[in-house]
């Protein structure tokens, strides 16, 4: 009988990781790594509560699990918080990645690292995998440094740059903006989205399936996981509201550059997804297609 493939998933209580777990191959042995305990909705899921900033704790779990692949989603992802708490951001976003990379290098384990479209300066979109990052905030600086660490793994390293991820949470809310946007719209409250930030949004189910495919296959290098549509965050929110039957007047436009105390954001970080479309079995979808797929989870229903 063939042994199950063991996969370690960091940040397991997060928005993306929860969907990675839900979309994973049931024949795999999943090991979830997080600060807080989480549910175990699948028989093949094992939960490990550790302080991910502790290299010793992470090493203990890694050596007990002996994973064949690691999907590293854990991060301090609040851009404004990272800007004012740079040491903490460095310890989490770079330090944990270095710990995992060292362990993977020593054991021949594959590491799939979740990076961000915001590694670019936003002035030369659409961006391909070969374009040089030019970060304009500290969160992006940490992601660029972590990418360099993962790239040193060669054939065992994958950098997955995620565009803005749209969808509903499975295990916990994490940074799912839909999980807060939809209840606000249901209550008749306005939601504010910037017109000056352009992205190529991708649904969380496609992201989860692609990360699982990258972990299971022989892929290496950088992949842009992004949708087919380049839209402002305001236009995206309007289309979401319309799809769910909410009045467009509840989606209010703003210019994020005028917001006090906010870290700089790149203007247009649309990603070119041709490589992912050519090399992955999972299709990269349009915004409407992705929304239809993401809303199937039914956690929050339309009115």
Domain regions of the chain by residue span: 6-165+202-227+269-286
Mean pLDDT for 64-72 is 97
Beta bridge partners of 19: none
The band of 41, judged by pLDDT with boundaries at 50, 70 and 90, is low
Above 70 in pLDDT, residue 1?
no
> How far apart (Å, rounded) are the C-alpha atoms in residues 129 and 172?
31
Query: Would you identify the CATH topology of the domain 6-165+202-227+269-286?
Result: Rossmann fold (3.40.50)
Q: What is the pLDDT of residues 104-158, one digit of tens each?
A: 999 999 999 999 999 999 999 999 999 999 999 999 999 999 999 999 999 999 9
Transcribe 242-270 into DSSP letters: HHHT--GGGEEEE-GGGSTTPPP--SB--
> How far apart (Å, rounded) are the C-alpha atoms in residues 140 and 176?
19
Q: What is the pLDDT of residues 172-185, one digit of tens each?
A: 667 789 989 999 99
Which three-class secondary structure state does DSSP give residue 133? coil
Give pLDDT, residue 302.
Answer: 33
The band of 301, judged by pLDDT with boundaries at 50, 70 and 90, is very low
Q: Which residue has the higher pLDDT, 233 or 296?
A: 233
Mean pLDDT for 18-23 is 93
8 Å CB contact between 298 and 292: no
Q: Which residue has the higher pLDDT, 202 or 174?
A: 202
> How far apart (Å, rounded) are the C-alpha atoms in residues 92 and 75?
6
Beta strands in 152-266 (DSSP E): 157-162, 165-166, 191-194, 198-199, 202-203, 221-225, 231-232, 251-254
- Candidates 230, 160, 236; CA nearest to 199 is 230
C-alpha distances in Å from residue 220, one per residue of 65, 151, 216: 23, 9, 11
């Amino acid at each position: 009988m063939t042994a199950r493939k063991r996969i370690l998933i960091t940040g397991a209580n997060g928005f993306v990781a929860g969907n990675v777990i839900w979309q994973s191959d049931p024949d795999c042995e999943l090991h979830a790594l997080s600060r807080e305990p989480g549910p175990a909705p699948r028989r093949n899921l094992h939960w490990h509560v550790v302080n991910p900033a502790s290299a010793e704790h992470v090493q203990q779990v890694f050596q007990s699990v002996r994973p064949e692949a690691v999907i590293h989603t854990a991060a301090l992802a609040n851009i404004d918080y990272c800007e004012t708490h740079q040491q903490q951001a460095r310890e989490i976003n770079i330090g944990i990645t270095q710990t995992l990379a060292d362990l993977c290098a020593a054991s021949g384990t594959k590491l799939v690292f979740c990076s961000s479209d915001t590694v670019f300066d936003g002035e030369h979109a659409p961006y391909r995998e070969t374009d040089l990052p030019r970060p304009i905030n500290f969160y992006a600086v940490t992601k660029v440094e972590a990418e360099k660490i993962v790239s040193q793994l060669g054939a065992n390293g994958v950098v997955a740059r995620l565009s803005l991820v749209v969808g509903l949470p499975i295990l916990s809310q994490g940074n799912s903006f839909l999980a807060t946007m939809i209840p606000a719209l249901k209550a008749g409250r306005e939601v504010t989205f910037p017109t000056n930030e352009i992205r190529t949004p991708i649904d969380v189910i496609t992201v989860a399936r692609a990360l699982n495919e990258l972990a299971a296959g022989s892929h290496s290098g950088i992949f842009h996981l992004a949708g087919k549509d380049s839209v402002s965050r305001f236009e995206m929110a309007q289309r979401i509201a319309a799809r769910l039957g909410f009045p467009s007047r509840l989606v209010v436009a703003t210019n994020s550059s005028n917001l006090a105390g906010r870290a700089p954001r790149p203007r247009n970080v649309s990603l070119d997804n041709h490589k992912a479309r050519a090399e992955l079995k999972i299709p990269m979808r349009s915004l409407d297609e992705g929304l239809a797929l993401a809303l199937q989870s039914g956690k929050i229903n339309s009115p």
